[in-house]
Structure formats: C-alpha cells, structure tokens
Amino acid sequence: MPLSTADRSLLEPAIRRLNALRPLSPEARASLEYAMLEGLQRAGAGEDLISEGDPVDSVRIVLSGWLCRYKALEDGRRQIVNFIFPGESCDAHAFLLSTMDHSIATLTPVVYAEIKRARFDSLLAADRSLAEAFLCEMLVNNAIQREWVINLGRRAALERVAHLFCEIFERLRPVGMAEGNSCAMPVTQTDLADATGLSVVHLNRTLQELRASGLIVLRDRTLVIRDIDALKSTALFSPSYLQLYRGGREHG
C-alpha cells in the first residue's frame, strides 16, 4: 500500500539521515518506512523516554522534536552528553547491553517510531545497506561524543558554545531542518548550559558575546548564523567528524 504524502513527510527525516550515511536500497527504505509507521509514538516535553538502568528491548527513531541524552549526579546536577534530532535513533543496538547507562529525555514534544528488537534484527538481516547505515550512525555518534569531550575539556566558553551551534546547524541540514543560515533552537539556556558545562550566568554572558560579535541572532526559538565561516573559525570547528553525505546523497 503506497504511503500518503503526510506519512512520507513524517518519515522523511529518518530516511534522509540514513541515506546520507549509506545509500538505502528501495526495498530497505520501504521496509523501514512501514516498520516506523506501525510503531509511531508521541511524548510531551520534559519526559524521560528511558532512564538509566532500564532494560532496552526496542529501537526508537526520532521523527520530530528534540531530545537529549544525559547523566545526573546524586545531588541533581545534570550533564547533557548529546542532543538527539529528527532522523536520528535514540538507541540503535543498545538492546545488546543489559541496561541503559544514561537517560534520554524529551526537550520538546516529539514523535518517534518504536521498533521492537526482533523486527529491527530482521530488517537489518534482510538488507545490508540498512545494516551499514545504522552502523555508520553508531560510529558517527561515537565521533560526536569524542568531540563533546574536547569541547568540555579544552575549548574556552566562547569556542564551546560556538562549536555546539555549528554542530547543531550541520546535523540539522541533512534532514532538511535548516533553512538558509537559520535553524530552530527550541531549547532553554539551562539546557545549553547543561550541554556545555557552564553555569547559566556564564552561558548567558557567552551568548551576549556571540551576539555582540555579529556572529549569531538567537530569538524566538530560532538561531540565525550571520557569518557561518566566522562562527566556525571562532569555534575551531570542522564538520569532518559528522561524515556528512559520506555514503549517500542529499535529497531535496
């Protein structure tokens, strides 16, 4: 049964994201689309989809909205260790471990597809292109985590925030979520502080410095990068670790 225009539009970020990593066969695309449609779920903002210590028996693929991976200390302090954007999976292959070692929370209302382990295993076994695409996504996520370690351990506050904005913009582009030099930024300053290891006060001062330098405009939950080359230079940013369009192609 052919997909409706609305269904195809909803699923497109995931297809574009995977196809940017490895070209998907038509059969793989169709099988994944129907599996995602059958497992559609919704969650509101501020919910934990899964908590540290929970068992994992399925894969969640984000179709709209923003989430974060985080670790929390016993006193409540939180470190966001990555954001999860439309088109990305929350925990592909995590079911190979006994429990989750971190939590995943929604930052906005989200729509996601939940595919049970047996179904996911059969999808990967049936098509090598799909298996390779999800493996590539896992490797890129590992590269992102290494970059975040450098961000927290070696970059100054201005470089740190500029680098995060560059990464967000570049990760949203392949799934059609960046338009021109702007993209959505539906997170709070507290979220950005938790992602960059800064206090909210320090984060606010850093944002003011980026604005005063004419590099960004951040207003109405939208980020406008006024000079992307200058922002990348400030951040010491190179997108090579994101492997953009390495094995696929960008779709319009």
Domains of the chain: 5-147 (2.60.120.10), 155-242 (1.10.10.10)
Residue 98: pLDDT band (50, 70, 90) is: confident
Q: Where are the alpha helices (DSSP H) in the chain?
A: 5-21, 26-38, 117-126, 128-154, 157-172, 189-196, 200-212, 228-235
Q: What is the pLDDT of residues 104-144, one digit of tens each?
A: 999 999 999 999 999 999 999 999 999 999 999 999 999 99
- Kindly tell me the burial class for residue 156, based on how many C-beta atoms sit within 10 Å of its own C-beta (0-12, 13-18, 19 or more): exposed
Given a contact cutoff of 8 angstroms between Cβ atoms, the answer to whether 197 and 152 are in contact is yes
pLDDT at 35: 97
* Residue 250, pLDDT above cutoff 50: no
Q: What is the pLDDT of residues 40-49, one digit of tens each?
A: 999 999 999 9
Q: What is the pLDDT of residues 214-233, one digit of tens each?
A: 999 999 999 999 999 999 99
**Rounded mean pLDDT of the chain?**
93
pLDDT at 251: 37
- 97 phi and psi angles, rounded to 5 deg: -100, 165
Phi-psi category of 220—alpha, beta or left, where left has phi over 0 and alpha has psi -120 to 50?
left
Kindly report the pTM of this predicted structure.
Answer: 0.93
